[in-house]
Amino acid sequence: MTSLSIIGCGFVADLYMRSLALYPDIKIAAVYDRDSARCTAFCSHWSLSGVASLKALFADTPKGSVILNLTNPSSHFEINKVCLEAGYHVYSEKPLAVDMDQATALHTLATKRNLLLASAPCSVLGEAAQTLGAAIRADMAGCPRLIYAELDDGFIPQAPHGNWISDSGAPWPVKDEFEVGCTLEHAGYYLSWLIGFFGPVLTVVAASAEVIPNKTQSGNCAPDFSVATLFFESGLVARLTCSIVAPHDHQIRVIGDKGVLRVEKAWDNSAKVSLHRRIKIRRRLLESPLAKRFRLKGPTHPKVTRKGAAAMNFALGPVEMIAALKENRPCRLSSDFALHMNEVTLAIQNSGETTGAQQMQTTCPPIEPMPWAK
């Protein structure tokens, strides 16, 4: 039996609990939220016992275990730091921190203390991403020349988000989502795949804007649209788009010399990976409308049943950390990976109208494929 503890009992914590339920060997040691009513509602829904302070959470969490930081982004730095200082490995919801000085300080602290520090999302370890990675390595589409990745969510300000309530009753945190912005919230869902497959980004050329004003009363919102061209050290080029404005589109297309590999759903671990071969018919060149599905041969990982927008196993990241600790091996979601993801994401988010090419200062190797995807 391995234990982990949770800080932050809001909307996403319920998604983690539905995923962690797939791993009966993991026990929740302690749960804390600074909002005691939220902590109580969450704990009574999942039959857990909450504690009233961080000090009490540390007292109930065995040293050397993993703590999940599921608080709002503005609390990530403070909570990640205090957990590392207390001697725990940390899995943080994204972003690792809202500025690079803070993210670098966390990375330095984790390295000094020899602790693991990882950041969501972990869907790069999921079946859809791992299948796409295997299809690229198997040269299904030929040499990848360009990638288009879209994380457009639809016109979210007009969505009935007031009705989006988590299992234990937490409302979707609309104000926080708009103030943090869709790039910090979502770019990682494909950036992690791209950096995981192809290694570090050298240069970001991006633009971001707020195209729907006054989404909250404070008027203090982050960009609701961004588009980035990413130049990888490997020579690959990718375009990544994030918005809560354009019609829903979560596809990624890997365009190679022989055709296009495509995944339609970023948030579904079971999403199909399909190959559209390039064909010539008389005077025309086209990508075949008939897709060939690429599958891995053996079993992969436990899946959550589909509910709401995402069919994602949120526990894959924490489970990978626990396995790395047990097996005394590097964690696929390393602190170098988290820091590089943070730098690229912030570069896109903060690009605005006039920022030119931004050279990245951090780096990380690609992620070793999961054993079942090799």
Ligand X SMILES: NC(=O)c1ccc[n+]([C@@H]2O[C@H](COP(=O)([O-])OP(=O)(O)OC[C@H]3O[C@@H](n4cnc5c(N)ncnc54)[C@H](O)[C@@H]3O)[C@@H](O)[C@H]2O)c1
Site for ligand X in 80-99 (CB under 6 A): 93-94
Total binding residues toward ligand X, as defined by CB under 6 A? 25
Q: Is 75 in the site for ligand X (CB under 6 A)?
A: yes
Q: Is 153 in the site for ligand X (CB under 6 A)?
A: no
Identify the residue among 6, 9, 271, 331 touching ligand X (CB under 6 A). 9
CB of 373 to ligand X, least distance (A): 23
Name residues whose C-beta falls within 8 Å of residue 152's C-beta, 6 or more positions apart in sequence: 241, 242, 243, 244, 245, 246, 247, 248, 249, 250
Q: Is 127 in the site for ligand X (CB under 6 A)?
A: no
Site for ligand X in 181-240 (CB under 6 A): 185
Q: Is 332 in the site for ligand X (CB under 6 A)?
A: no
Identify the residue among 50, 73, 144, 256 touching ligand X (CB under 6 A). 73
Q: Is 170 in the site for ligand X (CB under 6 A)?
A: yes
CB of 79 to ligand X, least distance (A): 5
The three state secondary structure string of the chain is CEEEEEECCCHHHHHHHHHHCCCCCEEEEEEECCCHHHHHHHHHHHCCCECCCHHHHHHHCCCCCEEEECCCHHHHHHHHHHHHHCCCEEEECCCCCCCHHHHHHHHHHHHHHCCCEEECCCHHHCHHHHHHHHHHHCCCCCCEEEEEEEEECCCHHHCCHHHCECCCCCECCHHHHHHHCHHHHHCHHHHHHHHHHHCCEEEEEEEEECCCCCCCCCCCCCCCEEEEEEEECCCCEEEEEEECCCCCECCEEEEECCEEEEECCCCECCCCEEEEEEEEECCEEEECCCCEEECCCCCCCCCCCCECCEECCCCHHHHHHHHHHHHCCCCCCCHHHHHHHHHHHHHHHCCCCCCCCEECCCCCCCCCCCHHHC
Identify the residue among 142, 154, 173, 369 touching ligand X (CB under 6 A). 173
CB of 202 to ligand X, least distance (A): 27
CB of 295 to ligand X, least distance (A): 27
Tell me the window of 7-15, 44-52, 55-63, 272-280 that interacts with ligand X (CB under 6 A): 7-15
CB of 122 to ligand X, least distance (A): 11
**Smaller CB separation from ligand X, 186 or 253:** 186
**Smaller CB separation from ligand X, 232 or 267:** 267
CB of 233 to ligand X, least distance (A): 28
Give the residue carrying structure tokens 């993991």.
Answer: 26
**Smaller CB separation from ligand X, 52 or 279:** 52
* Edge-first strand listing for the sheet containing 2-7: 26-32, 2-7, 66-69, 89-92, 117-119
Neighbours of 18 (CB within 10 A): 18
Identify the residue among 60, 176, 210, 264 touching ligand X (CB under 6 A). 176
Q: Is 179 in the site for ligand X (CB under 6 A)?
A: no
Identify the residue among 4, 5, 6, 8 touching ligand X (CB under 6 A). 8
Amino acid code (one letter) for 235: G
Tell me the window of 3-11, 45-53, 109-117, 317-325 that interacts with ligand X (CB under 6 A): 3-11
**Smaller CB separation from ligand X, 19 or 300:** 19
Q: Is 70 in the site for ligand X (CB under 6 A)?
A: yes
Q: Is 244 in the site for ligand X (CB under 6 A)?
A: no
Q: Is 343 in the site for ligand X (CB under 6 A)?
A: no
Distance between CA 347 and CA 355 in Å, rounded? Answer: 9
Site for ligand X in 13-42 (CB under 6 A): 13, 33-35, 38
Residue nearest to ligand X (CB): 10
CB of 222 to ligand X, least distance (A): 12
Residues that bind ligand X (CB under 6 A): 7-13, 33-35, 38, 70-73, 75, 78-79, 93-94, 170, 172-173, 176, 185
